[in-house]
Amino acid sequence: MKHILSIQSHVVYGYAGNKSATFPMQLLGVDVWALNTVQFSNHTQYGKWTGMVIPKEQIGEIVRGIDEINALAECDAVLSGYIGSAEQVAEIVKAFEQVKARNPKAVYLCDPVMGHPDKGCIVADGVKEGLINLAMAKADIITPNLVELRELSGLAVENFEQAIEAVKVLLTKGPKKVLVKHLSRVGKNADQFEMLLANEDGIWHISRPLHAFPKEPVGVGDLTAGIFLANVLNGKSDIDAFEHTANAVNDVMEITHQSGRYELQTIAAREVILVPKSHYQAVKIA
Ligand SMILES: Nc1ncnc2c1ncn2[C@@H]1O[C@H](COP(=O)(O)OP(=O)(O)O)[C@@H](O)[C@H]1O
Ligand SMILES: Cc1ncc(COP(=O)(O)O)c(C=O)c1O
Ligand SMILES: [Mg+2]
């Protein structure tokens, strides 16, 4: 069994951060060590929430505790997502270095969750800079959405061709795999939901249906990054991991859409996360 140290948000109500990613990763047979960067009542796109940002010292403390019971070498990957404060970024990088010291084969998937003013996703000041200046260089896998791809590459990314260029830039900055979680308005087709995967062998594109939500669910990026990492650790090829991720997430979106609920319906979708009903295929484009 593989073990992931998953450092991201916890929401008591609903599904975002660790609440979105942990259960699907467990379904895929991975042991998840959830370490929370914040404990909030609900995700930030409700516009209000209660709870607290976890003090940055907790990250090192928890990792030290796991090391003191001689379990850190069991860790196969660190996953980071929604980060609560700028200072937590350096602590997360340090945590990954400690894991690497015990298990040199461990990998780091950085889901570079940044604020998104249009959507109402609120992330603390300085986190974005920490992701760009500290975390990206350490990451084996990085999973930006369009806004994050622009910030990480420093390119404007106004169309599909520029997205490809930006992904190539990220491959020169540390990460060996880049998964663009959502191409959004630079996709090929405005009425599809599109993603890219790039590694040293090439670039693949996948397209799946876009559902008309009255209010789009949050936590989809977290779900995408978690499923992709679980697949990679389970030994799938990058392309199989990419296709399973797209299909499983699509099925969760379809079930969520049918439910008429705002929160992701990951529990109702448990069976299709394991064995998706959709079979969209990745196409090699470069
Ligand atoms: N199949 C789909 N149909 C419609 N909307 C979707 C679908 N899949 C995901 N979404 C929405 O697309 C948005 C993706 O957000 P974005 O910030 O671009 O990336 P991410 O959530 O991956 O960080 C979310 O609001 C999510 O609810
Ligand atoms: C607490 C929290 N965690 C995680 C996220 C990231 O969500 P997504 O996967 O939609 O990018 C958000 C976005 O608003 C959030 O508020
Ligand atoms: Mg996101």
Cβ atoms of 12 and 212 within 8 Å: the answer is no
Residue 77 within a domain: yes
Residue 18 falls within a domain, yes or no? yes
102 alpha carbon – ligand 2 mean position (Å): 30
Is 189 a member of any domain? Answer: no
Tell me, in angstroms, the distance from the centre of ligand 1 to residue 27's CA.
Answer: 22
The pLDDT, as a whole number, for residue 118 is: 85
| Minimum CA distance residue for ligand 1 atom 22 | 221
Please name every residue paired with 208 in a beta bridge, in sequence order, or none if there are none.
193
The total number of structural domains in the chain stands at: 1
Q: Is the pLDDT of residue 117 over 90?
A: no
Question: 104 alpha carbon to ligand 2 midpoint, in Å?
Answer: 30
CATH number at residue 145: 3.40.1190.20
**Reported pTM:** 0.99
Domain hosting residue 70, numbered range: 2-183+216-238
Residue 28 domain-assigned (yes or no): yes
Residue 26 lies in a domain: yes
Of 211, 19, 10, 241, the C-alpha closest to 109 is: 241
Ligand 1 pocket test, candidate residues 151, 182, 206, 257, most atoms within 8 A of CB: 182
Quick: pLDDT tens for 200-227: 999 999 999 999 999 999 999 999 999 9
DSSP letter at 29 equals: T
Containing H/E element for 273?
helix 270-274
Residue 244, in any domain of the structure = no
- DSSP H or E run through 129: helix 127-130
Q: What is the pLDDT of residues 83-98, one digit of tens each?
A: 999 999 999 999 999 9
Tokens read off for 3: 């073990």
Residue 49 has pLDDT above 90, yes or no: yes
Q: How many other C-beta atoms are found inside a 10 Å radius of the C-beta of residue 65? A: 11
Cβ of 15 closer than 6 Å to ligand 2, yes or no, is no
Task: Check if 11 has its Cβ closer than 6 Å to any atom of ligand 2.
Answer: yes
Nearest ligand atom owner, CA of 219: 2
In a domain, 172, yes or no: yes
Task: Taking residues 193-205, report their average pLDDT.
Answer: 98
